């Protein structure tokens, strides 16, 4: 490799954010303990600069680091999802950390490092890079999950997340080793060529399966979902909101790139597995969510179910002409889920108290009377998570199901619609509790939180009513990529 095919210019936003994270880690050392919010604001400005930098050049199509990274519409749009969730979570963290008495400066650099890992993940065109990016996003997350160190449930969920995460990444590494053994390559293009010539060998299929275990764990697909409710419940809520969007989107980015480009010719082999993940995740996630009384666990099972809907969108990717359509549907769904879910978690943070009370669905009783704005926003988020109009969630589900229909998976769409109906039960229950029941719990709504809730609610509504422009951007940036 020489300096000419490094393409440092193309990766500048990424390099900038990494350097910003390293710099912030050092600068934070000289910031006194009672002014740690300054670190937060600096992290925020780093995110914001990168966000606008990336969004100014969405349509580029380049490669970097000798073809190991791709800089294209797919990665750029997902970068916006990661950076956006980083911005919103940092805004929430400014007050959350102080309120829960866990304010330490390291929180923000860890967040930046994790986002850098997610960004690399969506650009990866080589299995080595996929593995490194996965670890780079996970290791800061392990620490962030255990960030509320004085609380035992935070520590426990961190240990659980760490042990299971390391376990699954060991599977992934072994899978990569077998794929390398079967194809003599780690780059997606070279693997694709080798697979097209030699077809599927048992070694290769075993490798793909093991690698998929690692990725499916990250996106919390059934049957690799057992950690999700515990970790989402125990982790600080800002971290949960962040990881439920960022880590999931990054995992799906890698799945899309690997399966649409490297293993495109093996679609007949992997499509049934993806279908299985889709059916199991939507059914089990939604059914298990019904019986939850804690809103955090309910949202955790809901996130498992949403992983299932993204898998529904991935299935058509194996059908040649449809792979662009499928990739657009994945991006759109992840963006919709990200906006809505971070909004919902900010409401959870507002109702949640430092003493651990307020995470029960019954604590939402009477919210409509005490703070109508918050309740209205939560109503919107619940409608969007269900997939009802006029929200972005509806458009996203519609998009996903249309992609599956185009590939001829009518029965899968039927399963999807039935599970949406099941999910309506528990999402709408929250709305009923908020508007019909009376209660007198307290909410804490600092300005940054109101801003986050306002932005996400407005975006969920506006993009639900007028999805056209965003859809056009997504489709034009992804066209011809896969």
Partner 1 sequence: MIPTTYYLALSAILFSIGVIGVLVRRNAIVIFMSIELMLNSANLAFVAFAREFGTLDGQLMVFFVMTVAAAEVAVGLALIVAIFRSKASIDVDAVNLLKG
Partner 2 sequence: MLLQELLRDYLPIAILLFVATGMAFAMVALGHLFGPRRDGKAKLMPYESGMTPIGSAVRRMPVRYYLIAVLFVLFDIEVIFLLPWAVVLRKLGLFGLIEMLVFVTILLVGYIYVWKKGALEWE
Residues at the contact surface with partner 1, assessed by CB under 8 A: 128, 131-132, 135, 139, 142-143, 146, 149, 152-153, 155-160, 162-163, 166-167, 170-171, 173-174, 176-178, 180-181, 184-186, 226, 229-230, 233-234
- Give min distance, CB of 411 to partner 2, in A: 50
Pairwise CA distance, residues 400 & 185, whole Å? 33
Residue 126 has what DSSP assignment?
B
In 235-315, which ranges are continuous DSSP H helix?
237-257, 267-290, 295-314
User: Residue 259 in contact with residue 211, Cβ under 8 Å?
Assistant: no
Pairwise CA distance, residues 245 & 331, whole Å? 12
- Give min distance, CB of 218 to partner 1, in A: 15
- Among partner 2, partner 1, none, what does residue 25 contact (CB within 5–8 Å per kind)? partner 2
458 DSSP β-pair partners: none
- Among partner 2, partner 1, none, what does residue 273 contact (CB within 5–8 Å per kind)? none
Q: Which is nearer to partner 1, 207 or 416 (CB)?
A: 207
- Check residue 143 for interaction with partner 2 (CB under 8 A): no
Q: Which is nearer to partner 2, 117 or 358 (CB)?
A: 117
124 DSSP β-pair partners: 69
User: Residue 72 in contact with residue 60, Cβ under 8 Å?
Assistant: yes
Q: Which is nearer to partner 1, 174 or 435 (CB)?
A: 174
Q: Which is nearer to partner 2, 69 or 256 (CB)?
A: 69
- Check residue 9 for interaction with partner 2 (CB under 8 A): no
- Check residue 197 for interaction with partner 2 (CB under 8 A): no
Q: Which is nearer to partner 2, 110 or 385 (CB)?
A: 110
Pairwise CA distance, residues 395 & 416, whole Å? 14
- Among partner 1, partner 2, none, what does residue 60 contact (CB within 5–8 Å per kind)? none
- Among partner 1, partner 2, none, what does residue 327 contact (CB within 5–8 Å per kind)? none
CA angle 340–94–362, rounded 5-degree value:
50
Q: Which is nearer to partner 1, 173 or 287 (CB)?
A: 173
Pairwise CA distance, residues 320 & 261, whole Å? 11
63 DSSP β-pair partners: 70
Q: Is 276 exposed, middle or buried (0-12, 13-18, 19+ CB in 10 A)?
A: middle
- Among partner 2, partner 1, none, what does residue 436 contact (CB within 5–8 Å per kind)? none
Pairwise CA distance, residues 322 & 426, whole Å? 33
* Binders of partner 2 in range 19-78 (CB under 8 A): 22, 25-26, 29
Q: Which is nearer to partner 1, 35 or 149 (CB)?
A: 149
Q: Tokens 């099972």: give the residue.
A: 301
Which residues in this chain contact partner 2 in the complex, by CB under 8 A?
A: 2-3, 22, 25-26, 29
């Amino acid at each position: 490799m020489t300096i000419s095919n490094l393409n440092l210019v193309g990766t500048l936003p990424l390099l900038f954010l990494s350097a910003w994270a390293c710099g912030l880690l050092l600068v934070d050392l000289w910031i006194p303990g009672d002014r740690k919010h300054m670190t937060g604001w600096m992290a925020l400005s780093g995110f914001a600069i990168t966000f606008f930098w990336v969004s100014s050049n969405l349509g580029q199509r380049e490669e970097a680091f000798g073809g190991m990274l791709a800089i294209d519409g797919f990665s750029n749009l997902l970068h916006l999802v990661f950076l956006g969730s980083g911005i919103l979570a940092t805004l929430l963290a400014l007050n959350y950390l102080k309120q829960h008495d866990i304010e330490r400066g390291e929180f923000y650099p860890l967040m930046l490092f994790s986002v850098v890992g997610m960004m690399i993940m969506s650009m990866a065109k080589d299995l080595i890079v996929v593995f490194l990016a996965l670890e780079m996003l996970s290791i800061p997350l392990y620490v962030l999950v255990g960030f509320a160190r004085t609380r035992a449930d935070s520590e426990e969920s961190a240990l659980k997340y760490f042990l299971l995460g390391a376990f699954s990444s060991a599977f992934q590494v072994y899978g990569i080793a077998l794929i390398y053994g079967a194809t003599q390559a780690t780059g997606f293009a070279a693997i694709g060529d080798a697979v097209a010539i030699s077809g599927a060998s048992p070694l290769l299929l075993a490798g793909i399966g093991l690698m998929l275990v690692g990725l499916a764990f990250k996106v919390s697909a059934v049957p690799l979902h057992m950690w999700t409710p515990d970790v989402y419940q125990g982790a600080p809520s800002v971290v949960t909101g962040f990881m439920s969007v960022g880590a999931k989107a990054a995992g799906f980015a890698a799945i899309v790139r690997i399966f649409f480009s490297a293993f495109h010719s093996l679609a007949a082999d992997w499509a049934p597995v993806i279908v299985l993940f889709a059916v199991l995740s939507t059914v089990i996630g939604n059914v298990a969510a019904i019986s939850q009384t804690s809103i955090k666990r309910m949202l955790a099972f809901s996130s498992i179910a949403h992983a299932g809907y993204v898998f529904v969108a991935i299935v058509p990717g194996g059908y040649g002409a449809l792979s662009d359509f499928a990739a657009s549907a994945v991006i759109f769904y992840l963006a919709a889920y990200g906006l809505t879910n971070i909004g919902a978690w900010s409401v959870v943070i507002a109702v949640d108290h430092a003493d651990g009370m307020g995470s029960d669905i019954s604590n939402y009783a009477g919210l409509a009377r005490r703070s109508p704005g918050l309740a209205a926003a939560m109503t919107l988020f619940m409608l969007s998570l269900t997939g009802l109009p006029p929200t972005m969630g509806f458009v996203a589900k519609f998009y996903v199901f249309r992609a599956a229909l185009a590939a001829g998976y009518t029965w899968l769409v039927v399963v999807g619609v039935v599970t949406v109906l099941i999910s309506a039960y528990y999402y709408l229950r929250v709305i009923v509790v908020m508007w019909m029941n009376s209660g007198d719990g307290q909410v804490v709504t600092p300005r940054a939180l109101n801003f986050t809730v306002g932005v996400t609610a407005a975006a969920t509504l506006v993009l639900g009513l007028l999805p056209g422009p965003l859809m056009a951007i997504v489709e034009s940036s992804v066209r011809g990529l896969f």
